[in-house]
Amino acid sequence: MTSSAPSVVSARNLCLTYETNDGPVHALSNVDLDVRKGDFVSFIGPSGCGKTTFLRVIADLERKTSGDITVNGMTPEEARTNRAYGYVFQAAALYPWRTIEKNIALPLEIMGYAKSDQAKRIEQTLDLVNLTGFAHKYPWQLSGGMQQRASIARALAFDADLLLMDEPFGALDEIVRDHLNEALLKLWKRTNKTICFVTHSIPEAVYLSTKIVVMSPRPGRVTDVIESTLPHERPLGIRETPEFLEIAHRVRDGLRAGHSYEE
């Protein structure tokens, strides 16, 4: 939020190259970035620019090729063992044979939380995402937006300070997405989480973020980092204000500047 808040993710000269049969793919090239406690950071850029790769490096699901990255001041591996983050995928990825409650319980079971603690956490997170009363439903009995909320609840259930969200609302229609954007902002304010959020949508990035990271492909680089000047209180109507449109314009410029037209 402020430059004095503790660092949650810090990347310096971060590079990641995938070795493939067709040769190396430079997914991330010299990425420098600081995410601070309480930040809502959006990553925006064309498909293939390394957004998912960056989240996966934070989560210790991929290893850097060179450079430095810390998560809560630790290596990603240490942070993972300390349960530093919750991960929300593009598809809700709920198990169809488990009820909503049992889906949320899954990471808690794996982490060995006591049954009574599990029940308390499930109740609290269902309330946070406004799904109280749906605990005993199966995923297919819920709408797409509700399923995605359940998957956010699952990521919140074990109290990680950091939420990694990879295009969580990308597959939803615009009305549902608007609604979830509002809900997510409220939840972020209530819980004081730090959020890294990948999106393709300029309005979504501008509406949600304290900081917008614009990326370009081949090799994946950060081309602009925009600190939002919007107030924290954001009714949906803020999207018509000149201040909002100005930030959106700068994001669009950044995307255009970073785009290669050689293909």
The reply to whether 42 sits near Mg ion by the rule CB under 5 A is: no
25 contact, one of ligand ADP, Mg ion, none, CB 5-8 Å limit per kind: ligand ADP
**What is the distance between the terminal CA atoms of the chain, rounded to a whole angstrom?**
38
The single-letter code of the amino acid at 198 is V
Binding-site member from 3, 20, 21, 260 for ligand ADP (CB under 6 A)? 20
Inter-residue contact 11 to 75 (CB < 8 Å): no
Q: Pick what 213 binds: ligand ADP, Mg ion, none; C-beta below 5 to 8 Å, kind-dependent.
A: none
Residues between 214 and 253 with contacts to ligand ADP, criterion CB under 6 A: 220
Cα 192 to Cα 162: distance, rounded to the nearest angstrom: 10
Q: Which does 48 bind (CB under 5 to 8 A by kind): ligand ADP, Mg ion, none?
A: ligand ADP
Output 52 or 72, the one with its CB closest to Mg ion.
52
> Which of ligand ADP, Mg ion, none interacts with 20 (beta carbon under 5 to 8 A by kind)?
ligand ADP
The residues with which 227 forms a beta bridge, in sequence order, are 211
Tokens of 242: 């000149």
Task: Tell which positions 105-124 bind Mg ion, by CB under 5 A.
Answer: none
Q: Is there binding between residue 52 and Mg ion (CB under 5 A)?
A: yes
Does 50 sit near ligand ADP (CB under 6 A)? Answer: yes
- Give the relative orientation of helices 174-191 and 115-128 as an angle to the nearest 10 degrees: 120
Helices (H), 111-165: 115-128, 144-156
Interaction between residue 21 and ligand ADP (CB under 6 A):
no
| Position of minimal CB gap to Mg ion | 52
Give the closest residue to 219 by CA, choosing from 35, 75, 20, 15. 15
d(CA 161, CA 187): 13
Where in 137-156 is the site for ligand ADP (CB under 6 A)? Answer: none
Please, which residue, 26 or 83, has the CB nearer to Mg ion? 26
48 is a site residue for ligand ADP (CB under 6 A): yes
Binding mask 175-214 for ligand ADP (x = CB under 6 A): ----------------------------------------
Contact (Cβ atoms closer than 8 angstroms) between residue 61 and residue 185: no
Query: Could you identify the residue written with the tokens 């889906």?
Result: 103
Residue 119 binds ligand ADP, judged by CB under 6 A? no
Query: CA–CA separation, 143 vs 231, rounded Å?
Result: 31
Nearer to ligand ADP, 23 or 133 (CB): 23
Cα–Cα distance, 8 to 18 (Å, whole number): 25
* Residue matched to tokens 């973020």: 209
Query: Cβ 27 to ligand ADP, closest distance in Å?
Result: 4
Establish if 51 lies at the interface with ligand ADP (CB under 6 A): yes
Q: Under a CB-based contact definition with an 8 Å cutoff, are residues 196 and 43 in contact?
A: yes
Give, as one character, the DSSP assignment of residue 46.
S
From the list 49-57, 82-90, 182-190, 223-231, the region that binds ligand ADP by CB under 6 A is 49-57
Residue 250 is encoded by which pair of tokens? 């700068």
Binding site for ligand ADP (CB under 6 A): 18, 20, 25, 27, 45, 47-53, 220
